[in-house]
């Protein structure tokens, strides 16, 4: 079969990144990392508060050393060592009913911001942590309740050590997040690969193999048993492939049958031509017995010749492309009336009103064949009905298209014939018919971008409607 590919589609054998597997892997890593980002911000905010609480506790311990010293005084060297161990530049311990204990480095800069760890909220702690990471180090004051006893502790410190600790913590969190992401992505990827990608790849490979040789029964997929959607898709695919193989076999049989029918038809038409000459002579015979059976013989031979002609015409590979042009609808209708001798028919009234100047945009030959098939069907229905009747052709212009109705006053189309009315060899509404007339008419109308439909039918008559683009 022809190798048909969508323009711009990737070739078989996709790379890992461009394939579904690679996309699943990348998306899994991305989503896990995105989840880690939402976890990282509260974590670093909590880390900052814990760091400040540790500094407050260390500063209070340094203040207790000052309180235990004689006269609450220490040397400058010890004071500097206490402040360095607490990583602060000043400490103030406030207790109810006691004087404030203070340790302060000489010449420390003023603080730029004040934070209370006891009243820090969830979002404010995150915002303060991100501000500390994003901006340059500042000198800040932190306050909080005393870790030992009553009162509160105030410290002034530089953000630089805290910022360095936060960066180190963030890098450790990032590394751990990457490991978690890769591990989770591997598990999710493996699961999705086994559950989705691998079965889809199997289906794709089977489709490619079946496309190359659909007649090979071994290339029909063997569906897995299971209630999941992939197994259901495989079962539906197997059913579709079986239907395609059956359709191809039927087309092959029909093609072989068509060739045989064409050969038989060629010889049969020669035989019927000879029989028609004999029937024409019998038709002018004065013998009463011959006159009684001659019309039926002539009609039978005419039907056989028409069937052979229509069979060959329908068996062509395809109709030529319509050569559409603006014509008067009255032109093909006059030819039809002449060919079918409708004006001289003793029991059928032919009525065409107001169509002399009605233009249509169609192929003249195709339009003639569409209408003559419909009119001939109506004529045969009235003749089989046995009573007087009428065939009327009307037309009207709608937005974007033209509607042409062919109506008769016959008995209507039987219910059993309506389902396959437009099917060749199966859609005839009368005994002995081939059904080719309606099939050919619809094929020609659809070649114009229109259609032929059964508009209505019943005991009062039948109307077939031809729709053509305007």
* pLDDT tens figures, 50-105: 999 998 888 888 877 776 665 556 677 777 788 888 888 888 888 887 767 777 77
Q: Give the pLDDT score at 49.
A: 92
Q: Give the pLDDT score at 7.
A: 46
370, 371, 372, 368: which is closest to 444 by C-alpha? Answer: 370
pLDDT band at 251 (very low <50, low <70, confident <90, very high): confident
With beta carbons less than 8 A apart as the criterion, state whether 95 and 146 touch. Answer: yes
Mean pLDDT across 164-183: 86
* Backbone phi, psi, residue 346, to 5°: -75, -25
Q: Give the pLDDT score at 312.
A: 66
With beta carbons less than 8 A apart as the criterion, state whether 302 and 266 touch. Answer: no
Q: For the chain, what is the mean pLDDT?
A: 81
Mean pLDDT across 40-50: 89
With beta carbons less than 8 A apart as the criterion, state whether 397 and 412 touch. Answer: no
Instruction: Find where tokens 């029918």 sit.
Output: 261
Give the residue range(s) of CATH 3.30.565.10 domains in the chain. Answer: 322-469
Q: Give the pLDDT score at 98.
A: 73
β-bridge mates for residue 402, sequence order: 397, 468
466, 467, 460, 336: which is closest to 390 by C-alpha? Answer: 460
CA gap 66, 161 in Å, rounded: 24
CA gap 93, 81 in Å, rounded: 18
User: Is 70 exceeded by the pLDDT of residue 434?
Assistant: no
User: Is 70 exceeded by the pLDDT of residue 462?
Assistant: yes
- pLDDT over 70, % of the chain: 86
Mean pLDDT across 278-303: 73
With beta carbons less than 8 A apart as the criterion, state whether 161 and 87 touch. Answer: yes
The pair of structure tokens assigned to 200 is 């889809």
Domain 322-469: give its CATH architecture: 2-Layer Sandwich (3.30)
The upper half-sphere exposure of residue 110, i.e. CA atoms within 13 Å in the direction of its Cβ, equals 1
Give the residue range(s) of CATH 1.10.287 domains in the chain. Answer: 229-312
Mean pLDDT across 13-42: 72
The SS3 call for residue 319 is coil
393, 394, 363: which is closest to 378 by C-alpha? Answer: 393
Q: Give the pLDDT score at 2.
A: 46
pLDDT band at 311 (very low <50, low <70, confident <90, very high): low
Q: 229-312 domain in CATH 1.10.287?
A: yes
The more confidently predicted of residues 230 and 295 is 230
pLDDT band at 12 (very low <50, low <70, confident <90, very high): very low
Highest mean pLDDT among 132-146, 218-232, 398-412: 398-412
Q: Give the pLDDT score at 14.
A: 47
Pairing mode of beta strands 461-469, 359-362: unpaired
User: Which of 24-38, 123-137, 452-466 comes out lowest in average pLDDT?
Assistant: 24-38
pLDDT band at 13 (very low <50, low <70, confident <90, very high): very low
Q: Give the pLDDT score at 402.
A: 95
Q: Give the pLDDT score at 424.
A: 64
pLDDT band at 435 (very low <50, low <70, confident <90, very high): low
* Backbone phi, psi, residue 18, to 5°: -80, -20
Q: How many other β-carbons are positioned within 10 Å of the β-carbon of residue 200? A: 14
């Amino acid at each position: 079969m022809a190798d048909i590919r969508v323009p711009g589609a990737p070739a078989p054998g996709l790379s890992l990144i461009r394939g579904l597997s690679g996309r699943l892997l990348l998306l899994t890593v991305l989503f896990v990392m995105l989840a880690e980002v939402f976890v990282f911000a509260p974590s670093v905010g909590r880390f900052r508060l814990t760091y400040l609480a540790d500094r407050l506790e260390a500063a209070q311990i340094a203040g207790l050393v000052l309180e235990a010293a004689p006269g609450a005084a220490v040397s400058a060297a010890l004071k500097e060592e206490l402040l360095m161990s607490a990583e602060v530049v000043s400490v103030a311990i406030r207790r109810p009913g006691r004087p404030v204990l203070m340790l302060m480095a000489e010449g420390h800069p003023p603080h730029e911001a004040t934070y209370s760890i006891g009243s820090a909220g969830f979002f404010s702690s995150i915002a303060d942590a991100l501000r500390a990471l994003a901006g340059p180090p500042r000198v800040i004051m932190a306050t909080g309740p005393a870790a030992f006893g009553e009162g509160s502790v105030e410290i002034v410190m530089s953000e630089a050590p805290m910022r360095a600790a936060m960066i180190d913590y963030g890098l450790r969190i990032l590394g751990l997040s990457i490991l978690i992401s890769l591990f989770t992505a591997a598990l999710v990827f493996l699961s999705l690969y086994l559950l989705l990608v691998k079965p889809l790849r199997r289906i794709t490979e089977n489709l490619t193999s079946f496309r190359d040789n659909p007649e090979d029964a071994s290339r029909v997929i063997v569906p897995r048993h299971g209630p999941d959607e992939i197994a259901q898709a495989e079962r539906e695919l197997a059913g579709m492939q079986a239907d395609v193989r059956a359709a191809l076999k039927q087309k092959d049989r029909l093609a072989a049958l068509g060739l045989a029918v064409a050969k038989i038809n060629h010889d049969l038409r020669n035989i019927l031509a000879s029989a028609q000459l004999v029937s024409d002579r019998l038709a002018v015979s004065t013998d009463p017995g011959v006159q009684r059976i001659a019309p039926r013989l002539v009609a039978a031979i005419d039907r056989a010749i028409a069937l052979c002609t229509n069979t060959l015409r329908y068996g062509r590979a395809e109709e030529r492309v319509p050569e559409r042009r603006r014509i008067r609808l009255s032109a093909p209708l006059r030819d039809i009336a002449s060919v079918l001798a409708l004006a001289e028919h003793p029991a059928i009234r032919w009525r065409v009103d107001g169509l002399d100047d009605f233009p249509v945009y169609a192929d003249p030959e195709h339009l003639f064949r569409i209408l003559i098939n419909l009119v001939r069907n109506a004529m045969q229905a009235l003749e089989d009905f046995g009573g007087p009747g009428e065939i009327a052709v009307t037309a009207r212009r709608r937005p974007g298209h033209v509607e042409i109705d062919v109506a008769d006053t016959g008995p209507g189309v039987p219910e059993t014939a309506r389902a396959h009315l437009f099917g060749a060899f199966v859609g005839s509404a009368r005994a002995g018919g081939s059904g080719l007339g309606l099939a050919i008419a619809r094929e020609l109308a659809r070649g114009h971008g229109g259609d032929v439909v059964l508009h209505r039918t019943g005991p009062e008559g039948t109307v077939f409607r031809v729709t053509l683009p305007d």
